[in-house]
Amino acid sequence: MKIYHNPRCRKSRETLQIINDKGADVEIIEYLKTPPTESELKEILKKLGINAKDLLRKGETIFKEKYKGNEFTEDEWIKIMIENPTLIERPIVVKGDKAVLGRPPENVKKLV
């Protein structure tokens, strides 16, 4: 199991706590320090069953200033998120061929 984690985010910390409380083995990836590659992000989106645009944090300043109201292709949104990992919704938990967003944190219980 992997968690794409931001330790400064309360929802991310709560999700990690649920995983730890269940005693599951987890690899913690601080995605702001180590952003996913293009292929990793495509795989995550496939496992989540959503489009790149649906994984965006639209409340972030950089989104509002640079991207709001613009149309981009799926591949362009993926590149934008890799270049600006703060735009990736968090936390994301991946286990095998499934993934969930930890919003709310209880979503992770579907995987542990």
Q: Which residue range forms the structural domain that includes residue 91?
A: 2-110
* Contact status, residue 3 vs residue 91, Cβ threshold 8 Å: yes
* Total count of domains within the chain: 1
Q: How far apart are CA 96 and CA 88, in angstroms?
A: 20
The partner residues of 8 in beta bridges, in order of sequence, read: none
Question: Whole-prediction pTM value?
Answer: 0.94
The set of catalytic residues is 9
Question: What CATH number is attached to the domain comprising 61?
Answer: 3.40.30.10
Handedness of CA 2, 21, 89, 34 (dihedral sign): negative
Residues 25-77: tens digit of each pLDDT: 999 999 999 999 999 999 999 999 999 999 999 999 999 999 999 999 999 99
Asked if 5 and 31 touch (Cβ cutoff 8 Å), the reply is yes
Q: Quick check: 57 and 87 in contact, CB under 8 A?
A: yes
The answer for 25, left when phi > 0, alpha when psi is -120 to 50, beta otherwise, is beta
Q: In percent, how much of the chain has pLDDT > 90?
A: 99
